[in-house]
A and B are shown apart, each in its own frame.
Chain A
Amino acid sequence: MNDLKGIPIAIAGVCDGLALSGNAGPVLHEVRSLLNDLVTSGKSASIDLRSLPLLPGDYEKLKVVLGQGEVSATLEALGVTHVRETAIHGVWWVTHYNSDATIIAEFIEVTTMPEILRTHPADARAGLDLLQSRLTPAIETGRGDGDA
């Protein structure tokens, strides 16, 4: 999308000087509908932003309307992933980058907790085993804390 900034053609509508396709509005209404579903039935959903014809101005409009919330997380998983809650509680903005810092996927998730932040039950079981293995020798040898 950044490449479009270099194309000297006039596109109707701008947001902060950036081109708008007019698709930000419908996306925001879809977010509202999905948030209503979350509130009434607890159902989570997400919108794949990369699958939509959005121009830089559309992204800017979405960010302006949704705002910045109080939760932000960064994961290092074959490239960085930024997860942040917008000012609209229950609406999260998730951006996946590859190891070259290029965006490879971007979603608006409407949920109480994005899936990628949750601890999977199998990982929790593995965590229990790991902690157990770190505690057992210490208990048996009578050594103190922090020597795992």
Chain B
Amino acid sequence: MPDDQTLAETLARRGVSRRTFLKFCATMASLMAMPPAMAAQMAEKLARAKRQSVIWLSFQECTGCTESITRSHSPTIESLIFDAISLDYHHTLQAASGTAAEAARQHAMKNNYGKYLLVVDGSVPTKDGGVYSTIAGVSNVDMLVETAKGAAAIIAVGTCAAYGGIPKANPNPTGAVAVSDIIADKPIINVPGCPPIPVVMTGVIAHVLTLDTIPELDELGRPKVFFGDTIHDRCYRRPFYDQGKFAKSFDDEGARNGWCLFELGCKGPTTHNACATTKWNGGVSFPIESGHGCLGCSEPDFWDAGSFYTALSMPADPVKYTAAAALAGAAVGVAMSFASRAKKADAKAAHRTATLADLKK
């Protein structure tokens, strides 16, 4: 497909109407908390956009991020955005292999120098000269530095690329680090999650293509529109937390009634992500809706933050439900959030290892 085609032309050839595209933009604008009037402008801008060159590097990872993004229900509105880009290198998805694959990366870098988007999933091993993960004989760290030079911006997809993730978990045998630990002179957008939510990834790309800017980021480099709230803030079980109604085990009355999973180790209060609103599997549900607490996978060092099944912190006095319960709950929630962060830091400092016994608690 010619790269000089506009997105509207590309989509038309695939039988996607302009109205479908406008619907996509209205949905994206809504998800990104943009004013509804932005949808029409977004559609006009995106329709005229030429295909954006994207180079996708997969380092020390499990391919879960790519699975998440490519295995969403098809056809979906959000999958349309992938028609908007020219994915010039992705060693899991591309047909080429070996020398031809690396030539495709070099070609894309040369032809789009200073303009291409670099997407990275996986952490970067640095120990022993980076020998623990190489592609075509080139260490991940060298490939990242070389490819980042000509990138307009970098999107670190998944918790591994954003914060080191599971490869970085204690004892971190490969010296794994995040993209931002290596690259300091390019804008980096972190889209963490293990894996990240497909539509969040799509939204970030749509934002960059539409507005020619990177979205507003929080202190951990995450787009605020998707990571501004905690899971707890937007959880449909939050009213039970405010009432002090907690499941004590996974098969007790509380669990059957859908009460709050805080005491079963839910990390929702300290985890910033959009699972509770965008949900998973085409909007079917998210982990808490399926009866399991949040693991906190979009936060740095989530794997080393103690057992998944130990409560972040316990209220000194059970929260009593009163007429002002919502207010009280919010205040307690904030206090617990700070307490939980402190506990998480303590756990990390103590290098505590989760045991089988922990999992059975």
Interface residue ranges, A against B (CB under 8 Å): 3-4, 6-7, 9, 44-48, 50-51, 75, 77-79, 81, 96, 98-100, 102, 104-105, 107, 109, 115-116, 120, 122-123, 126
Number of residue pairs spanning A and B whose beta carbons lie under 8 angstroms apart: 79
Given contacts A120-B18, A122-B18, contact A45 B282 (CB under 8 A): no
From A7, A79, A105, contact of B30 by CB (8 A): A105
> Which residues of B have CB within 8 Å of A102?
282-283
B22–A115 CB distance below 8 A? yes
Which of B20, B30, B39, B40 is A77 in contact with, Cβ under 8 Å?
Answer: B20
Q: How far is the CA of A75 from the CA of B20 in the complex (A)?
A: 9
Residue of A nearest to B35 (CB): A48
Q: Which stretch from B72-80, B125-133, B261-269, B340-348 is at the chain A interface?
A: B72-80
CA A61 – CA B75 in complex, angstroms?
A: 34
Chain B residues in the interface with A (C-beta under 8 A): 8, 12, 16-20, 22-24, 26-27, 29-30, 33, 35-37, 39-40, 73, 75-77, 80, 236, 239-240, 243, 258, 282-283, 289
**Which 10 residue pairs are nearest across A and B when measured between Cβ atoms?**
A77-B20, A46-B36, A105-B27, A105-B30, A102-B283, A48-B36, A48-B30, A104-B27, A77-B23, A120-B18
Which of A44, A96, A98 makes the CB contact (< 8 A) with B26? A96
Q: Please tell me if the beta carbons of A3 and B236 are within 8 angstroms of each other in the complex.
A: yes
How far, in whole Å, are A99 and B12 apart by their CA atoms in the complex?
19
Which secondary structure dominates where chain A touches chain B? Answer: mixed
In whole Å, how far is A59's beta carbon from the nearest beta carbon of chain B? 16
Contact status A78-B282, CB under 8 Å = no
Contacts A7-B258, A98-B76 hold; do A77 and B19 have CB atoms under 8 A apart?
yes
Cα separation A73 to B258 with both chains bound (whole Å):
39
Other than the known A98-B76, A102-B283, A104-B283, what 6 A-B pairs have Cβ atoms closer than 8 Å?
A48-B35, A50-B30, A81-B19, A107-B36, A116-B23, A120-B18
Tell me the smallest distance from the CB of A141 to a CB of chain B, in Å. 29
Q: Are B76 and A78 in contact (CB under 8 A)?
A: yes
Contact partner of B27 (CB less than 8 A), chosen from A75, A96, A109, A122, is: A96
How many angstroms between the C-alpha atoms of A14 and B305 in the bound complex? 43
Secondary structure call for the B interface: helix
**What chain A residues lie within 8 Å of B17 (beta carbons)?**
77
CA A105 to CA B26, docked complex, whole Å: 7
Cα-based distance from A107 to B30 in the complex (angstroms): 9
A4 to B276, CA, bound (A): 13
**Shortest Cβ gap from A108 to chain B (Å):** 9
Looking across the interface, which residue of chain A has its beta carbon closest to that of B321?
A: A9
Closest beta carbon of chain A to B38's beta carbon, Å? 10
What are some 9 contacts across the A-B interface (CB < 8 A)?
Answer: A3-B289, A4-B236, A7-B236, A51-B33, A78-B23, A99-B73, A109-B36, A115-B39, A116-B19
CA distance A46 to B17 in the complex (A): 22
Whole-angstrom distance from the CB of A28 to the nearest CB of chain B? 17
Whether B36 contacts A123 by the Cβ 8 Å rule is: no
Asked if residues B239 and A9 are in contact (CB atoms below 8 Å), the reply is yes
Closest to B20 in A: A77
Contact at B19–A75, with CB atoms within 8 Å?
A: yes
Given A96-B26, A98-B283, A104-B283: A78 in contact with B36 (beta carbons within 8 A): no
Residues on the A chain within 8 Å of B77, using CB: 78-79, 98, 104
B residues less than 8 Å from A44 (CB atoms): 37
Q: Chain B's nearest CB lies how many Å from the CB of A44?
A: 8
Which chain B residues lie closer than 8 Å to A100 at the CB level?
73, 282-283
